[in-house]
Structure 1
Amino acid sequence: MMPVRLMLIPALLMFAVFLTGCSEGPEKVVEKPAPVHIDSDDECHVCGMAITRFPGPKGEVITEKEQSVHKFCSTKDMFAWMLQPENANRQHTLYVHDMSQTEWESPDDTALIDAREAFYVAGSERSGAMGPTLATFSDEAAAQGFTKEYGGQVLKYSEVSMEHLVSEMPMGDGDMPH
């Protein structure tokens, strides 16, 4: 039979582990805000265009601290705003349309997905509100399938850069689309 002192050691160790786990305080669980419906009278936060009057995937940002909702007529405008230095490192909640689940001409808000988990096709033949746009998909295979039909390059959220936005701008008589 084990002496009482030796039996207390495992019990004291378990109690110490229990106290350590409890000493950190309550864990904060931050729930991600749900996407907000894009209404027919909503205007793009970047260019002021009516969002729903144009084809292609749209974007939506819910700001980290203020929980303000910014809606965009295209994924390209959403990235133009997100890649600005004052926004780039913030943990805003971002949504885009999953174009494998909705029509290109009139995206349905039931198909909004987490933009940070989406796959993007840059440089395709498909146009959005301002011309070339970034097509968005929840599944990499769907994005690859899109490139077989319309061209372009599949990117992850973290790979999209300002160069992808600028390189797709139409080169013409100097008129800017914004």
Structure 2
Amino acid sequence: MKPVRLKLLSALLMFSVFLVGCSGETEEVVEKPAAVHIEDGDECHVCGMAITRFPGPKGEVITEKEQTVHKFCSTRDMFAWSLQPENTMRKHTLYVHDMSQTEWESPDDTALIDAREAVYVVGSKRKGAMGQTLASFSTESAAHDFMMEHGGEILAFDAITLEHLNTEMPAGEMHGDMRH
């Protein structure tokens, strides 16, 4: 009778270890890669233009799987790339300049912020490398101040579509609400 009890006890112990192992699921936290400095001579991943030669906010995308850095001469080009169907489902880390912390003519890379958390002014009078660009800010207040001076419309990251990039919005149009 002892061998049967021993086998049953052993099976129960194994099952208990299995249950404990299953109940302790932990979510793997992947650290976000740091922004990469935009160097003189870097070219835009979309249009090939020299990034630092032009005014306005720039963008960069770091692909999660390959850890490849794509740099863009404007936020408009960054969105044009990231909104393409083949890129929307992939995981990326995106950065843009906080234009409340740096000069329009020559953005400083110490002002790069998470693009998904930024607030954008679309359709302003200010031009970037490719003409109209999306002015990026860390706060809605800063975006609102910019919009009041330069026109445009305030949008959150998730509200930006390819239509915003493909159509010229009237620069005098002003909307004070945050769209999601």
Aligning the two structures, in what range does the TM-score lie when normalised by the shorter sequence?
0.7 to 0.9
Q: What's 1:37 paired with?
A: 37
After TM superposition, give the deviation of residue 28 of structure 1 in Å: 1.4
Query: Structure 2 CA distance, aligned partners of 1:42 and 1:164?
Result: 26
Identity, in percent, stands at 74
2:146 alignment partner, SS class? helix
* C-alpha displacement of 1:91: 1.9
**Residue-by-residue CA offset, 1:69-88 (whole Å, 9 max, x unaligned):** 00000000000000100111
Aligned residues: 152
1:116 alignment partner, SS class = coil
Partner residue in 2 for 1:50: 50
What's the secondary structure of 2:116's corresponding residue? helix
What aligned pairs does 1:109-120 form with structure 2 within 5 A after superposition? 109-120=109-120
Cα separation, 2, equivalents of 1:91 and 1:157 = 15
1:102, distance to aligned residue in structure 2 (A):
0.2
For the aligned residue pairs, the C-alpha RMSD in angstroms reads: 1.7
Report the CA distance between 1:26 and its aligned residue.
4.8
Report the counterpart of residue 163 of structure 2 in structure 1: 163
The normalised TM-score by structure 1 is: 0.81
Give ranges in structure 2 of 5+ residues lacking alignment. 1-15, 170-180
Q: Tell me, which stretches of 5 or more residues in structure 1 are unaligned? A: 1-15, 170-178
Show the counterpart of 1:81.
81
Letter in 2 for 1:72: F
In structure 2, what residue type is equivalent to 1:64?
A: E
Cα distance in 1 for partners of 2:23, 2:41 equals: 50
The range that moved more, 24-33 or 141-150, is 24-33
* TM-score normalised by the chain length of structure 2: 0.80
SS across alignment from 2:99: coil
2:95 aligns with 95
- d(CA) in 2 for partners of 1:21 and 1:75? 45
Structure in which a larger fraction of residues adopt strand: 2
Q: In the TM superposition, what whole-angstrom CA distance separates every residue of 1:49-69 from its partner, at most 9, and x where no partner exists? A: 000000000000000200000
**Whole-angstrom CA distance in 2 between matches of 1:44 and 1:113:** 19
Once the two structures are TM-superposed, the CA of residue 24 in structure 1 deviates from its matched residue by 3.2
Distance 1:154 1:20 in 2: 49
d(CA) in 1 for partners of 2:62 and 2:168?
Answer: 26
